[in-house]
Amino acid sequence: MDSSYKDKKVITIGIVRDLTGLSERQIRYYEERKLIFPERTPGGSRKYSFSDVELLVEIANKIEDGVQTHEIRKEMIRAQKKQTQDEIRRKMIQGQLNAQFGLRKGPSA
């Protein structure tokens, strides 16, 4: 399985509205502000994941606390950069360990 069930984009905007308590207008606004990225069906309908639903709740809580959307976006970008850096660091360490102990990468080792 390549991705978690939480990341599969299968939920309609109406269900997201019911799960989060947000209006469809609010959900679309967060998409316009590049805080959430639903997939589109061939007919143009938005599809969200459970991870998106969790993110929308976090966004709504921050908005309620007075945080501006541009500040949330900056925070998301910082977190994404840190995650990318952590992944690169992990791969480098794994490569060094593999080289040190003569291990090959992958399950066929």
- What is residue 106's predicted lDDT score, i.e. its pLDDT? 56
Tokens coding 57: 């709740």
Tens digits of residue pLDDT in 7-65: 999 999 999 999 999 999 999 999 999 999 999 999 999 999 999 999 999 999 999 99
User: How far is the C-alpha of 15 from the C-alpha of 37, rounded, in Å?
Assistant: 16
- What is residue 2's predicted lDDT score, i.e. its pLDDT? 53
This prediction has a pTM of: 0.73
- What is residue 100's predicted lDDT score, i.e. its pLDDT? 83
Q: Domain boundaries in the chain?
A: 1-66, 68-102
The domain defined by 1-66 folds into: Multidrug-efflux Transporter Regulator; Chain: A; Domain 2 (1.10.1660)
Tens digits of residue pLDDT in 68-81: 999 999 999 999 99
SS3 content of the chain, % helix, strand, coil (to 5): 60, 5, 30
